[in-house]
Amino acid sequence: MRDVSIIGIGQYEVGEHWDKSLRELGYYALAAAMKDAKVERLDAMYVGNMLSGELTNQEHIGALISDFAGLRGIEAIKIEAACGSGGAAMRIGYTAVAGGLHDIVACIGVEKMTDQQASTTTSSLATASDADYEALHGLSFVSINALLMRRYMHEYGYRKDDFANFAINAHANAVNNPYAMFPSPISAKAFAEAKPIADPINLLDSSPIADGAACVILAPTSIAKEFTDNPIRVKASAIATDTLAVHDRRDPLYLEGGAISAQKAYAAAGIGPNDIDVFELHDAFTIMSALSLEASGFAARGHGVRLAMEGHIGIGGRVPITTMGGLKARGHPVGATGIYQIAEVATQLRGQAGPNQVKNARLGMAQNIGGSGATVVTTILERI
C-alpha cells in the first residue's frame, strides 16, 4: 500500500445558506481545495452526504457535483454512513489512493439541511437510528443522547453542569474560525440557563442543524511535494461499526465502534492516545464528547467528562479538542462534518490555525461518529 497525504484543503462557512444550492456548496469547497492543492484535474471524488434525497430531493450527487465542477467523466460516488458520511468518504478516498487505483482524489463532505422545517430535518436525522426499533417509537437523536447522558450522570454521579466546559471550550475556539456558524463565546451562566431540549440536554449541549461543505484532496505522499510545501500524511484511517440500535449494545455507555476504530488506527500508526496533539472529536452533544474521549483511550470509563471539568481540553491543555469550534460551534452539517474535522486537524498540523494554533502539533486525530455510535471513523494525520 502507498503512503497517502492531504495536499489541499477547502472549507465553506457553515451556516444557513438559503441562497446556495447543494451543488454550489459542494463545488465551493471542492474548488477551494483544488486551488489550495494547485490541481486542475482529479481522478475521482467521493462525496460524503447523508440527507440530500430527503431534504433536497436530490440523490446521485457524485455525478451532480462532478458535473457542476466541470469534471464530467471522472469516477464520482456518494458515500453514506449517517453523520459519519464525511469520515466514510475520507476512508474510501484513502482506500483508492493507498491501494494505487487513483492518484488525485477529492473527499468532499456536503450537507444542506436548513431549507426544510426543523421537524422534517429532525425526522430525517432519525433515519440514522434504527427505523423499526428506535425512530418508529418516537426516539429522535437528541432524545437518544438525552437517555445516554442521563444514564452517564446516574452511573458515575455527575451533575448536568459538569458537561458545561465542552460547550464553553468549543464556542471559545470558534471565535477564531472564519468558517464557524457560531463564532461567539458562551458563559457558564448561559449554559446553565439554556433552554432544555430533551432533559438533561439543553440547547447549548447540542450542535446546530446547518448547511456546509468541506473538501480535502489526497495524493500519494511520493508526489505530494509537487503540489504543496506542507503535505499532511494520513497515518491511519479506520472505520468500525457497532449495533445500529443503542439498546442492542453490550453497554450503552461504551462506544465499542469508537474503541475498535481507534485501536485499529493507533495500531496502524504505531502510536497511542498520549501521542495525539490535537483531537477533533464528534461533539454532536456534550455526552458524545465524553464517550468519544473514553472510547479512544484519553480517559478511563466514566472519566471523560473530567477532562472538561478540570480544564484539560483547551488549546494549551493536555487533550486539545474541538480546537476550531467542533460540531457545537463550527456547526454540524451532518454528512459534511467528518471532512470539516479532517480539514481542521490538517490546518493545525500545517501550523495555520492562527490564534487557535496548538503549539508544535505533529500528530492529530479526527473521530467522526454515525448515529449514536453505529459507525465510527478514526483518522490520524501527521505533519511530515
Q: Give the C-alpha separation, 206 to 202, whole Å.
A: 7
Interface residues for a second copy in 188-247 (CB under 8 A)?
239-245
Within 113-132, which residues bind a second copy (CB under 8 A)?
123-124, 126-132
In terms of Cβ atoms closer than 10 Å to its own Cβ (0-12, 13-18, 19+), residue 159 is exposed
The CB-of-27 to a second copy minimum distance in angstroms stands at 13
Buried b (16+ CB within 10 A) or exposed e, 117-147: eeeebeebbbebbbeeebbeeebbbbbbbbb
- Which of the following is catalytic: 83, 171, 215, 282? 83
Confirm or reject binding of residue 138 to a second copy (CB under 8 A).
no
**Looking only at residues 342 through 371 of this chain, which bind a second copy when binding is defined by CB under 8 A?**
370-371
Q: Which of 29, 34, 74, 327 binds a second copy (CB under 8 A)?
A: 74
Cα distance between residue 226 and residue 228, in whole Å: 6
Of 3, 16, 21, 220, the one binding a second copy by CB under 8 A? 21
In DSSP terms, 201 is beta-bridged to 198
Q: Identify whether the C-beta of residue 341 lies closer than 8 Å to the C-beta of residue 280.
A: yes
Provide the mask over 85-104, with x wherever binding to a second copy is found by CB under 8 A and - wherever it is not.
---x--xx--xx-xxxx---
In the bound state with a second copy, the residue whose beta carbon lies nearer, of 9 and 336, is 336
> Going residue by residue from 37 to 66, which x/- string records binding to a second copy, judged by CB under 8 A?
-------------xxxxx-xxxxx-xxx-x
Task: Clarify whether 332 is annotated catalytic.
Answer: yes
Per DSSP, the three-state class of 367 is strand
Asked about 282 being catalytic, the answer comes back as no
Nearest in space to 33 (alpha carbons), one of 298, 374, 339: 339
Q: What one-character DSSP code corresponds to residue 326? A: I
Binding mask 251-290 for a second copy (x = CB under 8 A): -----xx--x------------------------------
- How many C-beta atoms lie closer than 10 Å to residue 211's C-beta? 26
Determine, following the binding rule CB under 8 A, whether residue 82 of this chain makes contact with a second copy.
yes
What is the spatial distance between Cα 320 and Cα 375, in angstroms, rounded to a whole number?
A: 23
Q: Which is nearer to a second copy, 167 or 244 (CB)?
A: 244
Backbone angle region of 360, left / alpha / beta, with phi > 0 → left and psi within -120 to 50 → alpha: left
Q: Catalytic one among 17, 171, 312, 332? A: 332
Nearer of residues 134 and 382 to a second copy, judged by Cβ: 134
**H-run or E-run covering 213:** strand 211-220
Point out which residues bind a second copy (CB under 8 A): 1, 21, 50-54, 56-60, 62-64, 66-67, 71-82, 88, 91-92, 95-96, 98-101, 123-124, 126-132, 135, 239-245, 248, 256-257, 260, 370-371, 374-375
Which amino acids are annotated catalytic?
Answer: 83, 332
